[in-house]
Amino acid sequence: MNKEETLVDILIKNNYHISFAESATGGMLAARLINVANASKVLDESFVTYSNESKIKYVNVKEETIDKYNVVSEEVAKEMVIGLNKNTNANICASVTGVAGPTGGTINIPVGMVCFGFYINGNIVTKTQKFGNLGRNIVRQKASDFVYDTLIELLK
């Protein structure tokens, strides 16, 4: 069983619903889940919030949080996942914000840095990974794998 099938299986067994707020992964998380039969039993809605404005509009990120911490921060990932839960009522939520590259990085936020938020039945966990400047789609894939691996681990 692959990661997506494992996650869908866990969600179905627990009668959970999942939603994603994706920036750097650009819809990859939802697309991977939808590849699995019975995904419709666990996924009702998901958002690609690529711009700062969409993060504010759809998942309630505060403009002040973006200004203070940067859009690529655990603080923004946390607000994304909280807003996602508020707007979808999903038991399980995950958010992703990062710099996939090949440009856009800084000294403090290098290309390949991705921040994550996880909402598991009211418990919130944030994490940051630095995947390196491996190429845009490899960073997106690694970030997507990290979300699936982390969700499976948190739900066990």
**Domain around 38:** 3-155
Instruction: Say what the pTM is.
Output: 0.97
Confidence of residue 73 (pLDDT cuts 50, 70, 90): very high
CA dihedral 151, 18, 14, 74 (to 10 degrees): 40
Give the domain CATH number at 47: 3.90.950.20
Say how many domains are in the chain: 1
Q: Where are the beta strands (DSSP E) in 11-122?
A: 18-22, 47-48, 92-98, 113-120
H/E segment holding residue 74: helix 74-88
State pLDDT tens for residues 104-124: 999 999 999 999 999 999 999
